[in-house]
Structure 1
Amino acid sequence: MTEQAPLAPALSPLEILAARQDNLSLRDRDLADKLGITEAQLVAAHVGIDATRISADLDDIFPRLPGLGNVMALTRNRSCVIEKVGQYENYRSGQHASMVLTADIDLRMFPSHWVSAFAVERTTDRTIRRSLQIFDAAGDAVHKIFLRDGSDLSHWNTIVRELRHEDQSQTLQVSRRKPVEAPKANPDKADVLRAEWAKMTDTHQFMRLTSKLKMNRLGAYRIAGEPLARRIEPTEVDTMLEAVRDQGIEVMVFVGNQGCIEIHGGPIETLKSMGPWQNVLDPHFNLHLRSDHIAEVWAVAKPTQRGPAVSVEAFDAEGGLIFQVFGRRSDTADHRPAWGKIVDGLQSAKQSEVA
């Protein structure tokens, strides 16, 4: 396959800046969609005004972040946004995957997708909102870091100065966005899938298994059958979140994209629905979920050496993974009985939906 030429922005920087002034109430992602450009191209047009190009190298960025103090970490896909407040510490570099491991900020990052980055200082009616924003080759946001009241502004200025990129142009070429991989299954190997699935001792073995069988996650769920995978009603996501809140149990919520997965470990305390959005609005954890984007939900059980890891996983109409929720693991077990009871009580999807 021949490599496709990069895509230049459809508008000039001056046109993008003018559109920004005409649409001050729109979030960057929504304005970019409206203009037919990517979010990264929208931010790039502001270079020299309220944005600075910086290095997108994780090993440049993350060792410098602890000095900022308390910040907000944001990761999103098209249908879900997760925000966690804390400090970036315990960074572990890796060629193919890197991590930040703290009680508050827990990230899995894939460096090949960290392509362009900017330090942004956006003036609002009340304050200046400062952030580091990283984008992939298609110009979609991979991860963002927002300063909060009390963050160290002197250290912020040092980071921007030290990470400043030689290229400070206002235009950005991006690659075509790769389509989401459609559900991929091999019914002829369903028995092999079930047998190998039952032998797993760690959840991380699942992706290697599906790859070996030339399937993907959603395709495998569709043919595995109970008790390994059970399709449930999309509306049961709210039921699940409400039960977690009401019972005060701790869960692990995974939200991500190709370049970053962000994880919340703890309770869910405050739920608030607003139109199509279901929101968790807790002091150090926010989640914003487009419930109307959920096309399939699966209750999944994966065996481990410390007991079954039970999850609820939501997918969009294209087969893209929106989020996963597990019972929070302890030092000795991967299964929380109270979480298992919540999942067992969720209503199965109607047969017509499964077909």
Structure 2
Amino acid sequence: MVSGEQGNTFRGWIKLRLCHSRGRSYLLPDILIGFGGTRFFVPSFFGPPCLTFNIPVGSGSGDRIHEAKLSLDVAAPRGETATRLQVTFRSDEHVRSYEDGAQLYRCTYTGPADTRLAPLVSGRCARLPEGDFAIEVFHHTVEPTVEKILASGELWSGPYNIAGTAELDNVSHIYFTTLPKIIDEADLRRIAMSSGGQIAFQTTSDRPREDALDLPVYRSFTADRTATLPFQVPCEIVAPAHLLFHPYVPPNPAYYEIVGSEIVRVAMSPGATLKFVDLSISPIQSALKRFDYIVEGDASTVAGLEAPMREDGTTQVAHLERLDQGLDLFDFWRRHQNSDQHSGRSFEERRIRPRA
């Protein structure tokens, strides 16, 4: 830890992706690892990055590095108020490239001087031998099912979208959450469920009166989720979250919202299972499903609010740049600056299974 002007600055790791939307590119933060690799934060909101190139390092060496800064808001599960962190990472602090194009960098992060960050973490994590991290997340069910899961040594994937109201034809998911227990109706809504079968949303715009969306979601009850299994899930297999883009409404700047920030998903080929040993997930890479885009809903419209939860359609998307060991995000940004990286891309879309 080092002292910062606005507060204490800590060393950590950040997993993120390079995204291209209509008219803009940005960095999508997945997970921020802190506290010496023992705790993790999941962003709920974040802003556009600021990149600086060719910063001299050393004295007379001629070496130069690139630097990225972005702000993200974090809160503990059930947190009512998020705290803004400033995250900085450099081109010479790259740790690894993931199979789906995500990147892991060493970083620093700074919070307000008068705010303790420990109460804001999403959960515990641990470093894996190959250099990745495993986060502790929870699978909620009922007691009789717990014994069956433990005896089988695997978790079954399901075809439902985030809202739980439609089946996807070309991908299944296994759902976890950072909530260690499902206590009440508010917890159900945090994981896109409701005993009433609906969740209400409101648009963000400069209209005198905002539009409202009563979104149908999977009907469930706290009695359906009374038992919990804590799993260790490698960051590598955590699927990227969908987003809502909140446009500029004076005096507030535009920003991005993580959809279902307390939901953690693993995308699988249809019907695939996820193996585990002693509650540590051991994925078979060939069983994982990778998409080269996320849904980026326009929060100024009702259709945009619905899009990330429904997950079908291809009009509101952000493309994920599949960076690998030989393609640095800073170099990519410089080579393709001020260019359209969104139009004309071909990609496999998520497909809603037709009703019988």
Task: Please indicate, yes or no, whether the TM-score normalized by the shorter chain is above 0.5.
Answer: no
- Which has the larger strand fraction? 2
Normalised by the length of structure 1, the TM-score is: 0.23
- Which has the larger helix fraction? 1
Larger Rg: 1
